[in-house]
Amino acid sequence: MSEKSSGPSEPSASFRPTVETVLVAIGVVATLLPLGVTGGAFLNVSGEARTSRPYLWLHVEVDLRDLLLRDAGWTLTTASLVLLPLWYWFWRRSAMQWARGIGVAWAATAALAVCANAFWSFDADTVRVDLPTGLLWLHVMAGACFAVAFFIAPAPSRPSGE
């Protein structure tokens, strides 16, 4: 009698994390973590105010919560990052043909929108902005993680009953 038994040493495939699910989890943490941090750590911008001579040096520190309440661009970008894991889940469940391409494009656009919001939040004629620093780069990383997860994930199997 040679029966094969799958012993407890091998976990079932449904509980095994894959690279793409780990990337989505990292993206979720990177998206939500800045909401809990205060003290102006999300966006730090330094530059010259060109409204007077000599130019005044300015330094602005902003929390993500403040940006979400005051700036529609940041609100839409952050909402986009929050919705991306739901789109990933929908794609994996529905096996919609074009969802992967939409997810990659959406995630890449969200990451670029974070950069655009950071660099163009100030009027270029009155303020010269240096490279922004802070936790905003977590949002860029979140968009990149989501894009890579959509790109490398294997195509989902069709739902049963089709």
pLDDT over 60 at 9, yes or no: no
In-domain check, residue 5: no
103 versus 55: which is more confidently predicted? 103
Number of domains composing the chain: 1
Q: For the residues 109-132, what does the mean pLDDT come to?
A: 77
In-domain check, residue 101: yes
Q: Which residues pair with 45 in a beta bridge?
A: 60
In-domain check, residue 34: yes
pLDDT over 80 at 92, yes or no: yes
**Domain that residue 49 falls in:** 18-152
In-domain check, residue 78: yes
pTM strictly above 0.75: yes
Band (118; pLDDT cuts 50, 70, 90): confident
In-domain check, residue 159: no
Q: What pLDDT is recorded for position 160?
A: 61
pLDDT tens track for 66-87: 889 988 999 999 999 999 999 9
In-domain check, residue 87: yes
pLDDT over 90 at 91, yes or no: yes
In-domain check, residue 44: yes
- Name the CA dihedral angle for 82, 83, 89, 93, rounded to a multiple of 10 degrees: 170
In-domain check, residue 133: yes
